[in-house]
Each structure stands twice: as structure tokens, then as C-alpha cells.
């Protein structure tokens, strides 16, 4: 498991903001909130947020295949049953290539520390995908 210092420092403040969306009833319908995290990196945020927000079904993803074992290790080490196995996802590709996510099914689309280090086409893809995959009233949450 990788342990980025920045992720450790900012996980609390980011969670506080995520709670405003997850806990405030801004989602539509009963039940579990579907979350896709784009660019989960090492997986520390994914596991921490999924553990703190048990009403979510957290789908982590990353473009780097080498990140996936670290993401899975965090889920296992932290005993996070509502975190799905990580998927390989290139956000610059059309939403149809995003691991089978269907239109209007996500409550939250989360992207942390991706936009400022990736190519513009990735940010464009993120916004295009959000426009299709988020439910009405769903939230695209970005940080960094």
C-alpha cells in the first residue's frame, strides 16, 4: 500500500465537504448512493471515504494498472465492505468505456488531484462523462 502524505493530510477536510452532499439528502431515491472515484491513485482516500460513508457504494478507478493493487489493499486492510474492487479507467475515453457505468446512475462522481496533473483531454472527458452518468441532482466533486 502506498501512503501519500498529501492524501493523509487532506482526507479529513475533503470528507467534511463530501458529508455535506452524502448526508444532506441531495441524492434522489432511497438506498445506497453510487459513487465513482476517478483517479483514486493509491486508494487511501477511497477506503477512508467509503469507510466513513457507509451509505455509499464506492467504485474506485485509476488509469495506472499499478495503482489497482494498492487500492485493493487499502480496502482489505481497512475492512471496507462498501468499496468495490478498483477498475482501470481512462477518463479521456468516452463514458461507454468507464467500466460499464450506465447513464443517470451515479449520485457522486469524485475526482481528487487529477485535473491539475493530467492533460486537458482528461478534464474534458471528466466533465463530458459527468454530464451523462450523474443522476439528475448528482454532484461532480473535484479537488486539487
Sequence-ordered alpha helix ranges (H) in 23-67: 44-52
User: Could you tell me if 53 and 83 are in contact, meaning their C-beta atoms sit under 8 angstroms apart?
Assistant: no
Please give the model's pTM, rounded to 2 decimal places.
0.91
Q: What percent of the chain has pLDDT over 70?
A: 92
Q: What is the mean pLDDT of residues 53-57?
A: 94
Residue pLDDT, tens place only, 81-95: 999 999 999 999 999
What confidence score (pLDDT) does residue 64 get? 95
Question: What CATH number did the domain enclosing 69 receive?
Answer: 3.40.50.150
Q: What is the mean pLDDT of residues 28-45?
A: 86
Task: Flag whether 23 is in a domain.
Answer: no
The gap between the terminal CA atoms of the chain, to the nearest Å, is 22
* Boundaries of domain holding 59: 32-142
**Confidence band for 25, pLDDT divided at 50, 70 and 90:** very low
Residue 26 has pLDDT above 60, yes or no: no
User: Domain tally for the chain?
Assistant: 1
Task: Flag whether 17 is in a domain.
Answer: no
Task: Flag whether 77 is in a domain.
Answer: yes
Classified as helix, coil or strand, 105 is coil
Residue 61 has pLDDT above 60, yes or no: yes
Task: Flag whether 66 is in a domain.
Answer: yes
Task: Flag whether 137 is in a domain.
Answer: yes
Task: Flag whether 135 is in a domain.
Answer: yes
Amino acid at each position: 500500500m502506498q501512503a501519500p502524505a498529501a492524501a493523509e493530510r487532506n482526507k479529513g477536510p475533503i470528507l467534511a465537504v463530501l458529508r455535506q452532499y452524502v448526508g444532506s439528502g441531495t441524492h434522489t431515491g432511497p438506498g445506497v448512493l453510487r459513487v465513482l472515484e476517478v483517479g483514486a491513485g493509491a486508494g487511501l482516500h477511497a477506503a477512508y471515504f467509503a469507510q466513513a460513508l457507509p451509505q455509499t457504494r464506492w467504485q474506485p478507478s485509476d488509469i495506472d494498472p499499478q495503482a489497482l493493487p494498492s487500492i485493493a489493499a487499502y480496502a482489505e486492510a481497512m475492512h471496507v465492505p462498501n468499496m468495490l474492487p478498483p477498475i482501470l479507467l481512462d477518463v479521456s475515453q468516452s463514458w461507454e468505456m468507464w467500466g460499464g457505468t450506465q447513464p443517470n446512475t451515479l449520485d457522486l462522481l469524485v475526482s481528487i488531484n487529477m485535473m491539475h496533473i493530467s492533460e486537458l483531454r482528461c478534464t474534458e472527458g471528466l466533465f463530458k462523462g459527468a454530464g451523462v452518468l450523474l443522476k439528475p441532482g448528482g454532484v461532480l466533486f473535484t479537488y486539487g
